[in-house]
Amino acid sequence: MKYIFVTGGVVSSLGKGLTAASLGTLLEARKLRVVLQKFDPYLNVDPGTMNPFQHGEVYVLNDGAETDLDLGHYERFTNCVLTRHNNLTSGQVYETVILKERRGDYLGKTVQVIPHVTDVIKNRIRELSDESKYDVVITEIGGTTGDIEGLPFLEAIRQFILEVGPENVLNMHVTLVPYIKAAHELKTKPTQQSVAKLREIGLQPQVLICRSEKPLDRDVRRKLSMFCSVSEKAVIEERDVEHTIYEVPLTLHAEGLDQLVCDLLHLQTPAPDLADWRKFVERVVNPKRRIKIAVVGKYMDVRDAYKSIYESLTHAAASEDCGIDLKLIDAESLEHGVDSQLKDIGGVLIPGGFGARGVEGKLNAARFAREHKIPFLGLCLGMQVATIEFARNVCGIKDANSTEFDKKTPEPVISLLEEQRGVRNKGASMRLGTWPTKVVQGTLAEKIYGDTEVTERHRHRYEFNMKYRDRMDAKGFVISGTSPDGSLAELIELRDHPYFVGCQYHPEFQSKPNKPHPLFKGFIQASLGRQSSRATHAQADQESLRRVPERELVPQR
């Protein structure tokens, strides 16, 4: 078993997670079995309670763990399927230690950061290696070297290296090499100092990943090598990619990273097979056509807030040899009408969310998509909003609402399940993780999935209120997927619309570059269909727009 630790220096937001994930891609392409994990030094037990403005999206795993968005990169860039064991926060570490102390497990000893806290951290690395399913464990340490919170993690790594032997471990430091315009020079000093910080605690990186705007010339490489004590060929340049994050594995490969890592860890492998990955990147970079998709949400200035959704759109579009022009619309700006903003749009997507802010605008967007037969995909809150809109404007249930936005609404078309009513804690208290969905035969959903049983990841409290099912069905609102016992609505669609689909779950957590999610793929196909039919039959009656042609829906399995 080999171990790679990825630390970050100088500043945050260097793309450490992407770099770690990209190394995973390269090692998998060399037929190694890879797993990734993330250590986050903050004190929250998990990021589930954090605001997307602060922390970006919360990524949900099969087992219901609410984790850091870097785990999304790991799952998208490699074949590993992660569990709650793959994301450890200081909050969890201290929770474990304190619970043990209260139980009396430390037998009267003074409980300390070394060894008790560091032991919990080391055990988490061992848990993965004990499974012996992997050849390489890649562990990313969140935060920046020099942060007080990060120290116990770095100390745990130092001890761990002692235990497993330095020949089995590689420390990779992702750092910034800034370009100073006035001097026309790349500066190595911040990197030198950040490596010095690592050395202070007893860690010496063997590989430097240098994020920079300009190419690193020979002099800069020599300087970094000498001052930071890494070999010159282990100074790896990672410039900002031109088009897509999926280029990162290819640029790192061009810099020789995977060969270097295998040499340093004494791993014998075949040359990497990156043909499929290259093909995918080629399609993202040079698509034959383009489609405009509107995403109507709350956190439009924070690119990370809907990360998995944007990635899923990219995957689905690439599979149709198509590029996406994203139009990000702040839902609040649609509160007083949508016409001009949603004109010329191929499809409308409403993501998940919490709280009432922006809901009125989302309702308007859903209505516009329904009435103008624009392909629509509603995810979680997006589905709930579409439900409320249909109840109000088609079924005439004027006061229809979710009890999330109006506790006392007389028409709770979306409401809390009995078991959620008494829940007061905010942390990990939703319906979380993978649940099965039975897809109703003969629906568009069945065609899209090509299957009647699927499993999808959830993160929500509120549900469709089945009391309204028959009334809404009579008007064309179809529940096209339910929980196996039929009690919970999981998927909805409209009968008289080319593609109006909502799901109570989050398909965006299961889409990969070469395996786009069927709901996204169907959405893109329908949007392309609308675009081309608008181009060729500009005068055609809206009603004549057909559903997505069957042959275009390619089931995944």
Contact footprint for ligand GLN (CB under 6 A): 352-354, 380-381, 404, 459-462
Name the burial class of residue 447, with classes exposed (0-12), middle (13-18) and buried (19+) by CB atoms within 10 angstroms of its CB: middle
| Min dist. Cβ of residue 312 to ligand GLN (A) | 15
| Min dist. Cβ of residue 458 to ligand GLN (A) | 8
Please state at what angle helix 307-319 crosses helix 70-77, rounded to 10 degrees: 20
Residue 192, CA distances (Å) to 11, 171, 209, 223, 227 in order: 13, 15, 13, 9, 6
Query: Which residues fall within 8 angstroms of residue 181, CB to CB, at 6 or more apart?
Result: none
- Do 152 and 90 contact (CB within 8 A), yes or no? yes
Cβ-based nearer residue to ligand GLN, 315 or 506 = 506
Give the strand pairing for 136-141 and 34-40.
Answer: parallel
Helices of type H across 265-304? 275-285
503 is catalytic: no
Q: How far is residue 360's CA from residue 400's CA, in Å, rounded to a whole number?
A: 13
Q: What SS3 state is found at 89? A: strand
| Min dist. Cβ of residue 303 to ligand GLN (A) | 19
Q: How far is residue 77's CA from residue 553's CA, in Å, rounded to a whole number?
A: 25
Which of these is catalytic: 210, 228, 322, 380?
380
Amino acid (1-letter code) at residue 117:
V
| Min dist. Cβ of residue 381 to ligand GLN (A) | 3
Nearest C-alpha neighbor of 550 from the set 525, 532, 530:
525
Cβ-based nearer residue to ligand GLN, 145 or 387 = 387
Cβ-based nearer residue to ligand GLN, 296 or 380 = 380
Q: Count the alpha carbons within 13 Å of 408 in the hemisphere toward its beta carbon.
A: 0
| Min dist. Cβ of residue 488 to ligand GLN (A) | 12
Cβ-based nearer residue to ligand GLN, 54 or 544 = 54
Which of these is catalytic: 238, 255, 404, 508?
508
497 is catalytic: no
Amino acid (1-letter code) at residue 263:
D
Helices of type H across 43-150? 52-55, 70-77, 90-103, 118-130
167 is catalytic: no
| Min dist. Cβ of residue 497 to ligand GLN (A) | 22
β-strand partners of 349: 295, 377
| Min dist. Cβ of residue 489 to ligand GLN (A) | 12
Taking CB atoms, the residue at the shortest distance from ligand GLN is 352
Which of these is catalytic: 55, 253, 506, 517?
506
Cβ-based nearer residue to ligand GLN, 4 or 503 = 503
Cβ-based nearer residue to ligand GLN, 126 or 461 = 461
Residue 456, CA distances (Å) to 308, 380, 387, 437, 439 in order: 14, 12, 20, 7, 12
User: Would you please indicate which residues are annotated as catalytic (active-site) residues?
Assistant: 380, 506, 508
